Amino acid sequence: MGKLDLDPVVVARARELARRVGQPVVDLARSHTTVSVERAVLRLAGVAGADPDGIPWVNRLVDAVVADVGLGHGVAVPVFDALAREGLADVTVLAQKAAAGSVRFALPSGKAATAARRASRKAVAAGVRRIDRRRAERDRLVRRFGDPARRPWIYLIVATGDIYEDIPQAQAAARAGADVIAVIRSTGQSLLDYVPEGATREGFAGTYATQENFRLMRAALDESSRELGRYVRLTNYASGLCMPEMAALAGLERLDMMLNDSMYGILFRDINPVRTFVDQRFSRQVHARAGIVINTGEDNYLTTADAVDEAHTVTVSQLLNEFFAHEAGLADWQLGLGHAFEINPDVPESLRLELAHALLARELFPDAPLKWMPPTKHMTGDVFRGNLLDGFFNLVGAMTGQGILLVGMMTEAVVTPWLSDRDIALQNVRYVLGAAGGLHEDFVPAPGGFVQQRAQRVLGEAVELLERIGERSLLTAIAEGTFGIMRRPADRGKGLDGVAAHEADYYNPATEILERPA
């Protein structure tokens, strides 16, 4: 089967096990809601803006509903019932009145409940239609400007903390050859249980993800697309405590890719596992509707766990991310599954091991635009060695046909890269892809040789791990530190107090719309 001679029976077994392991988590997500899911619903219904303290009106509104009737019924019906009772036409005005304590919420019945459901669905449908229009707009611009003529797409990060500084850096990166610009989010934003408002200039090691910052950067990259004659894509984050809201805002502002991993927030931000899985499913439903490519975070596991010993955990996570994504409605072309070049270069045959792991990912997910991540863990501050290591990374990407190649920086772990660092890094990428961009057509591992044997072993270990997880549960495996050696119990972690099981009358108009074909 392919260049690695993988046994199709083993591959099918791996996917079936991933389905068995993942289905209970999907069932959990389908029977629970969170404050962020409900806020995303109201954002789609038109709630916007923030109070003088910077807290979004949508937070104030959901908090008021929860205080009066709880979370488990959903907020749509109580909100639109109150809107009718108050004689208001603007849900943001209702939020402002609720924040002032002048509105009470109740659970209507009979004709009042039917009317509230109908009104909420109409309002949310208008927001979803906006997302549909932005997706159609992207399709028109791609046809007009064109896509890059070659793969992989070159993915480059900007992260100054100041959106008005990010914009010229992003445009300069696009002129130098970047196809995808990722605006790294400010440190700590994933732990904020609200989305900041407006354009921001004070982020630390990144720029706050806000709707206005999304709008500004998208407009700037549209200018670059016109200038360069190719569509330049924009990436940000749908992760942390506000994953569903970020997804909704990204759809409304025509972002093209979003970081959205099934377990990253659990493992590396200590966000409650149930909160994360519920938020993830809704956010991925929005991504599916918006035509957004997700980027998963398997590369992060290898920053804490050994890239050789724990390679199979990356494969397991990729298979789970694939299952969760498909269940939420994402197509293969939207699955930027993550993997990384993180083996210690002092390990004998490290490059051959990297080839085996990269080719395994490529062959397991042939229709996915895999996101290939550069070396970071073993960068030493020696920029010459680092640039060479990045060159090896680029070469492996060319040899294995990766879809999205994140540009490695020789100053990784030393400083936040300068523009000049990015220019040198892009020169490295351009040279390797120019000299060897089609090498994946010719590269075929020796039958029964090192690369084939290593890939087959990793796949076998992944199947064994999935079998062990299936005997217990995915939540138990996460609690025991199976992924990234982080132990995260399901009854702990940030955001648990914002989770509720559905009551019998739970209603979410957004889910109702998103689960039907567009």
Please compute, for residue 505, the number of CA atoms within 13 A of its CA located in the half-sphere on the CB side: 15
Q: For residue 438, how many other CB atoms are within 10 A of its CB?
A: 12
Which listed residue (194, 208, 237, 264) is catalytic? Answer: 264
Q: Which of 299, 301, 494, 506 is an active site residue?
A: 299
d(CA 440, CA 3): 10
Cα pseudo-dihedral 276, 183, 128, 119, rounded to 10: 70
Can you tell me the distance from the alpha carbon of 319 to that of 357, in angstroms, rounded to the nearest whole number?
14
In this structure, are residues 289 and 518 in contact, taking their beta carbons and an 8 Å threshold? Answer: yes
Residue 398 near residue 437 (C-beta atoms within 8 A): yes
Rounded Cα distance between 228 and 57, Å, is 39
Per-residue b/e over 26-62, b at no fewer than 16 CB within 10 Å? bebbeebbbbbbbbbbbbbbebeebeeeeebbbbbbb
Number of residues that make up the chain: 518
The token pair at 180 is 């995808």
How many helices (H) and strands (E) are present in the chain, helices listed first?
19, 11
Residues 501-505: contacts with CB within 8 Å, 24+ apart?
501/31, 501/32, 501/72, 502/31, 502/32, 502/33, 502/72, 502/74, 503/70, 503/72, 503/73, 505/73, 505/77, 505/107, 505/113
Contact between 417 and 411 under an 8 Å Cβ cutoff? The reply is yes
Q: Rounded to whole angstroms, how far apart are CA atoms 253 and 221?
A: 12
Amino acid of residue 110: G
Q: Identify whether 3 is a catalytic site residue.
A: no
Told to judge if 371 belongs to the known catalytic residues of this protein, a careful annotator would answer: yes
In angstroms, rounded to a whole number, what is the distance separating the alpha carbons of residues 251 and 46? 14
Instruction: Please indicate whether residue 7 is annotated as part of the active site.
Output: no
Cβ neighbours, 10 Å, residue 114: 12
Ordered DSSP codes for 425-493: HHHHHHHHHHHHTTGGGT--PPTTSHHHHHHHHHHHHHHHHHHHHHHS-HHHHHHTTTTTT----TT-S
At 207, the amino acid letter reads T
Cα–Cα distances in Å, from 276 out to 244, 262, 472?
10, 7, 20
Q: Please count the other Cβ atoms lying within 10 Å of the Cβ belonging to residue 145.
A: 17
Enzyme catalytic residues: 264, 299, 371
